[in-house]
Amino acid sequence: MTLCFATNNANKLAEISAMLGDQFELKTLQEIGCFEEIPETQDTIPGNSRQKAEHVWDNYRVNCFADDSGLEVDALSGAPGVHSAYYGGYPRSYEKNLNLLLTNLAGEADRTARFRTVITLVIDGEYFVFEGIAEGKILTEPRGDGGFGYDPIFQPDGYDRTFAEMRMEEKSAISHRGKAFEKLVTFLKNR
Q: Which residues are catalytic?
A: 68
**Are the C-beta atoms of 65 and 117 separated by less than 8 Å?**
no
Ranges of H-type helices in 20-125:
45-60, 94-104
Q: Would you say 159 or 189 has its CB closer to ligand ITT?
A: 159
Give the E-state strand segments of 74-153 in sequence order: 112-123, 126-138
Q: Would you say 60 or 94 has its CB closer to ligand ITT?
A: 94
Based on DSSP, count helices (H) and strands (E) in the chain, helices before strands: 5, 6
Q: Would you say 22 or 35 has its CB closer to ligand ITT?
A: 35
Q: Is residue 148 part of the contact set for ligand ITT (CB under 6 A)? A: yes
My answer on whether omega of the bond before 152 falls inside 30° of 0, hence cis, is no
C-alpha R_g of the chain? 16
- Smallest separation, CB 178 to ligand ITT (Å): 9
- Smallest separation, CB 15 to ligand ITT (Å): 7
The stretch near ligand ITT (CB under 6 A) out of 17-25, 99-107, 142-150, 182-190 is 142-150
Q: Is residue 120 part of the contact set for ligand ITT (CB under 6 A)? A: no
The whole-angstrom separation of Cα 6 and Cα 15 is 14
Q: Is residue 7 part of the contact set for ligand ITT (CB under 6 A)? A: yes
9 is in an annotated binding site: yes
Rounded (5°) CA angle 60-63-65: 105
Altogether, the residues listed in the chain come to a count of 191
The stretch near ligand ITT (CB under 6 A) out of 16-24, 61-69, 99-107, 119-127 is 61-69
Binding site for ligand ITT (CB under 6 A): 7-9, 12, 40, 67-70, 84-85, 94, 97, 115, 147-151, 163, 175, 177
Q: Residues marked as binding for Mg(2+)? A: 68
